Amino acid sequence: MNLDYPITYIKGISVQRATLLYTELDIKNCNDLLNFFPFRYIDKTQFYQIKELQPNSSEVQIVGKITHIKSVAQKKGSRLVATFQDASGSMELVWFKGQKWIKDALKINTPYVVYGKLNHYNGSFSIPHPEMELVSEYKKKLQSKMQPVYPSTEKLSNSGVSNKLMRGYIQNLLQQVYDSIEESLSQEIIDDFKLIRKREALLNVHFPKSQEALAKAQFRLKFEELFFIQLQLVRKKLINKTKIKGFVFDNVGEHFNHFYKNQLPFELTNAQKRVLKEIRKDVGSGAQMNRLLQGDVGSGKTIVALLSMLLAIDNGYQAAIMAPTEILANQHYVAVSELLKGMNISVDILTGSVKTKKRREIHTNLEDGSLHILVGTHALLEDKVQFKNLGIAIIDEQHRFGVKQRAKLWQKGGPPQSSQREEAQIIRKKYMTARPSVYKLMKELQKSKKQQSTEAEQILWEQLRAKKLEHKFRRQHVIDEFIVDFVCLSKKLIIEVDGKYHFSNDQKEADELRTKILNELGFKVTRFTNEEVIGNIEKVVNKIFQELKSLPLGEVGGASPPHILVMTATPIPRTLAMSVYGDLDISVIDELPPGRKEVKTVHRFDSNRLSVFKFLKDEIAKGRQVYIVYPLIQESEAMDYKDLMDGYESISREFPSPKYQISIVHGKMKPADKDFEMQRFVKGETQIMVATTVIEVGVNVPNASVMIIESAERFGLSQLHQLRGRVGRGSDQSYCILLTSFKLSDDAKTRLKTMVDTADGFKIAEVDLKLRGPGNIMGTQQSGVLNLKIADVVKDSKVLVSARNTAISLLQEDPNLSKKENLPIRNTFSKMSKSSKIWGNIS
């Protein structure tokens, strides 16, 4: 049996059940089922005698015979009771459901293996609804004494798909395919890490012979899973550096130098200088930059981003900053505008709130190049937003954007560099001189091409524009001086459909010349005949799909893509960064600007509220401002936590006007109202800001020195750390007070202790990773690459490091995996790349 076959090929799986397994567990084919791993094991290595049983509600396994069966009446219905005995004594087996078919199936005086949870009542033992198997059948089966337990869902259980059934399906499959399971790693890697064979690992992960065999199987499969993810990420990084050209910013010019010497608000830290050097090296290399900039709250990422944008402007390019919220976009806009005050640099902002008239003005200024820096939200991704020559795109808090959204930025790159245009002219001139008559015919045919549209072209266009191939195609697009039938610019793939007139010798020669020139311009040209397209469009589309898969990401729109700088204020542990951002270069700003004092953090209970309020009044009396943050907007019956409106009322009573002024901000307010309240606080017209986590990012008030977080046990560690980062932005000592009830879970206690003990974002991220797991930290948009079947990036961090180092060494020695000994890796990698959903194009 082929592992690509659907699971309906397995005995007992109907089409209806196969549909259920796909919708509930994403199991579609035999390979999916084989790689659906148990999450725990029931150790059936021990058999008990009935006289050895103890009243402790454990799960036990016994061998014996049924000597008697009876039905016993009870208040509601009846129960089926079987007397079960071995050489040492007797007990009862009990069923409340399915009594008729169970009674008919049971065999008297025949040896059974019985397993189940033990009940003890009135001095006697019983097992309700036991797992039962004839000893004769038990001995025949693959299953080991350690029984696998598979993940399930309520819908599967209700539909009769039990754990026993899943074990049976996997056993049937393994028996059929065991001898044909191919090795996926090279012999060298197997020997280096003392790995067991692939087929042996799969057998022992489902049906382990012992604890030792299970450990070896799990290590082998974890290593393999992490190795292939790292192989993809490292390979993509190499392609980015070698195949994808980037704009060269080789001029450190007037704008950069003037700002650095005259307008920089403070001296850069050593960490900022180091990161800036790394960025300058990237943007001067001729390859496209893809860099992740990590920095704790307040570490000065914005200055580094601004200096990077000034490099672009000095070299004749535009820059963009994309932020996830209007508040954060506005903060960037205000900060950048303030820092560049007096310089001849145009900065604007585009968000959902910008009116149509202003939008048109922004679009015009972008396209004619008079707008140098555009700050915005998702609005930057709209098709109407087109730059004249976007040289660098900075994405802030990038985990809040989906991969497809970020990929759109690539399509907004500038025109080809002048050197590329000159190269195209040289190529044309070469062919014009060498083959003048053919070149002339090619140009004549080009004139009439745009007016022609065949039935085959229309059929193919219907397929391509439906975007089933996950890449955008354009029709009758002009490349240099050629009109091509169809082109995917992101992959530099041209599709031509040849009609009847393409078969004369002259025409063939002209087509060959055209293809050669397009090839030299960096495009791959694939040709189909009218008959091929009309006769078997599925085969044609499949061939195009395979072509797309084989090509690296090219230069979008015939242009180089912009340099990409991804920024995050959520420090990411090294193991997680290697998994999610393994194809990016990573820079870290790991020191705070001079003069910044560490925020003092304390944990207080609700009973300390009066002393906390007194502290606030003392701080306000010094001229400081205060944030008070609540987890909910309105009271929830399900959760007994302070809500915003109730809190606002109690704060208003404790801090009455006119002596105290209070702002209130939450996510349900209209943007204009929110901005009005925010501005009052920024200007110092109000001393207290009562808010929800809407202020988690994007608020910068240096005079605010106290952050109070109500019901702090409700917040995750990264949220608490972000909120704390709203204070400590001035030169005064700042404080963060975590207010909670006395009722705290163990995880909540850990989170609060971590916040009090450290301000190091990386240490906090490590604790958060252990508490929450990688998928939760990154959010669903980023969890694709972490949708691991058996490995865990936290627990298996050492395996991850080994896998990554192995992938790097392998690709350094054999970049195309073409050596004979690496054939198993190449074959597996190729299959995974075709079928897997995790290989995104943009990090």
φ, ψ dihedrals at 540, nearest 5°: -65, -45
**21 to 26, 152, 177: CA distances (angstroms):** 7, 10, 20
- The count of C-alpha atoms lying within 13 angstroms of the C-alpha of 245, restricted to the half-sphere facing its C-beta, is 16
Mean pLDDT of 382-400: 82
Domains of the chain: 46-144 (2.40.50.140), 254-283+300-415+561-568 (3.40.50.300), 418-558 (3.40.960.10), 600-758 (3.40.50.300)
The conformation of residue 714, written as its DSSP 8-state character, comes to G
Confidence tier at 785 by pLDDT (50, 70, 90): very low
What confidence score (pLDDT) does residue 639 get?
A: 46
Q: How confident is the model at residue 173 (pLDDT cuts 50, 70, 90)?
A: very high
User: What is the amino acid identity at position 35?
Assistant: N
What percent of the chain lies above the pLDDT cut of 90? 40
**Top-confidence range, 669-678, 690-699, 737-746:** 737-746
* Residue with the larger pLDDT of the pair 478 and 815: 815
pLDDT band at 426 (very low <50, low <70, confident <90, very high): low
Higher pLDDT, 480 or 690: 690
Please give the Cα distance from 259 to 256 (Å, whole number): 5
Give CA–CA dist 648/412, Å, rounded: 45
Per-residue model confidence (pLDDT) at position 791? 87
Model pLDDT for residues 605-627, shown as the tens digit of each residue: 999 999 999 999 999 999 999 99
In the prediction, which pLDDT does 557 show? 40
| pLDDT of 1 higher than 70 | yes
Q: What is the pLDDT of residues 279-302, one digit of tens each?
A: 999 999 888 888 888 887 778 888
Pairing state between β 119-121 and 124-128: antiparallel
Q: E strands, 347-429, where? A: 347-350, 373-376, 390-396
**What separation in angstroms does the CA of 581 have from each of 237, 277, 358, 411?**
10, 20, 37, 21
DSSP state of 568: E
Poorest-pLDDT segment among 517-521, 729-733, 814-818: 517-521
pLDDT at 698 over 90: no
Q: Count the Cβ atoms, other than its own, within 10 Å of residue 251.
A: 12
Q: Is the pLDDT of residue 43 over 80?
A: no
DSSP string of 255-273, one letter each residue: HHHHIIIII-SSPPPHHHH
Instruction: Indicate whether 774 pLDDT > 60.
Output: no
Q: Give the model confidence (pLDDT) of 205-229 as tens digits.
A: 999 888 788 999 999 999 999 999 8
Quickly count helices (H) and strands (E) in the chain.
31, 26
Distance between terminal CA atoms of the chain? 37
Environment class of 145 (CB within 10 Å of its CB; exposed 0-12, middle 13-18, buried 19+): middle
Quote the pLDDT of residue 50.
Answer: 92
Identify the residue with better confidence: 358 or 549.
358
Assess whether pLDDT exceeds 70 at residue 597.
yes
Residue 469 has phi, psi (to 5 degrees) of: -90, 5
Determine the pLDDT at residue 427: 58
Q: What is the pLDDT of residue 837?
A: 44
CA-based nearest residue to 48, from 95, 80, 84, 82? 84
Whether the predicted pLDDT of 501 surpasses 90:
no
Tell me how many degrees the CA angle 543-547-550 measures, rounded to the nearest 5. 140
The pLDDT of residue 776: 46
Sign for the pseudo-dihedral over CA of 139, 142, 147, 150: negative
61 φ, ψ (degrees, to nearest 5): -130, 130
Q: What pLDDT, in 10s, does the model give residues 306-362?
A: 999 999 999 999 999 998 888 788 889 988 999 999 999 999 999 988 999 999 999
Average pLDDT over residues 67-76: 90
pLDDT of residue 575: 66
Is residue 518 within 8 Å of 495, Cβ to Cβ? Answer: no
Q: What is the mean pLDDT of residues 641-669?
A: 84
Residue 447: pLDDT band (50, 70, 90) is: low
Tell me how far CA of residue 149 lies from CA of 129, 233, 499, in angstroms.
Answer: 17, 32, 60
Question: Is the Cβ–Cβ distance between 391 and 319 less than 8 Å?
Answer: yes
**Contact of 633 with 645, CB cutoff 8 Å:** yes
Place of tokens 């204020």: 569
Q: Comparing 215-219, 532-536, 644-648, 673-677, which segment has the lowest mean pLDDT?
A: 644-648
Averaged pLDDT score across all residues of the chain: 83
The pLDDT value recorded for residue 783 is 38
At residue 640 the predicted structure's pLDDT band, cuts being 50, 70 and 90, is: very low
Mean pLDDT value across residues 507-514: 73
Distance (Å, whole) CA 497 – CA 504: 15
Mean pLDDT of 372-385: 89
Other beta carbons within 10 Å of 513? 18
Token pair of 472 as six digits? 């955008």
pLDDT at residue 641 in the model: 47
Between 768 and 662, residue with greater pLDDT: 662
Spatial distance between the Cα atoms of 842 and 211, rounded to a whole number of angstroms: 41
Sheet holding 493-498, edge to edge: 474-479, 482-488, 493-498, 524-529
Percent of the chain with pLDDT over 70: 82
Local confidence band at 477 (pLDDT 50, 70, 90 cut-offs): confident
Residue 478 has pLDDT above 90, yes or no: no
174-214 pLDDT, tens digit each? 999 999 999 999 999 999 999 999 999 999 999 988 878 89
Question: What does the pLDDT read at residue 502?
Answer: 58
Tell me whether the omega of the peptide bond preceding residue 658 falls within 30 degrees of 0, making it cis.
Answer: yes
The region of weakest confidence among 442-446, 501-505, 782-786 is 782-786
What is the full DSSP assignment across 414-477?
A: -PPPHHHHHHHHHHHHHHHHH-HHHHHHHHHHHHHHTT---HHHHHHHHHHHTTTTSS--EEEE
Residue 677 has pLDDT above 70, yes or no: yes
Going edge to edge, which strands form the sheet with 131-134?
119-121, 124-128, 89-95, 78-86, 59-73, 112-117, 131-134
Place of tokens 């936290």: 794
Residues in the chain: 843
Q: What is the pLDDT of residue 137?
A: 86
The tokens 């049971």 sit on which residue?
Answer: 106
Q: Which of 161, 172, 141, 167 is nearest to 1 (CA)?
A: 172
E-assigned strand segments in 185-305? 290-295
Q: Dump pLDDT digits (tens) for 737-762.
A: 999 999 899 899 999 999 999 988 77
Specify whether the backbone of 258 is left (phi greater than 0), alpha (psi in -120 to 50) or beta. Answer: alpha
Give the span between the Cα atoms of 315 and 690, in whole angstroms: 45
718 membership: H or E segment, kind and range:
helix 717-724
Strand segments, DSSP code E, in 481-637 are: 482-488, 493-498, 524-529, 563-568, 585-589, 600-605, 625-629
Res. 598 pLDDT band, cuts 50 70 90? confident
| DSSP symbol at 132 | E
Which range is least confidently modeled, 14-23, 302-311, 457-466, 833-842?
833-842
Report residue 419's pLDDT band, with 50, 70 and 90 as the boundaries.
very low
Contact 44, 52 (CB under 8 A): no
pLDDT confidence tier of residue 67, bands split at 50, 70 and 90: very high
- Count CA within 13 A, CB hemisphere, residue 330: 17
Report helix, strand or coil for 157: helix
Q: Which residues, at least 6 apart from 521, have a Cβ–Cβ distance to it below 8 Å?
A: 424, 427, 479, 480
User: Does the pTM of the predicted model rise above 0.75?
Assistant: no
Query: Is pLDDT at 402 greater than 70 in this prediction?
Result: no
Backbone angles phi, psi at 691, to 5 degrees: -150, 165
Give the whole-angstrom CA distance, residue 729 versus residue 597: 9
Residue 784 reports pLDDT greater than 50? no
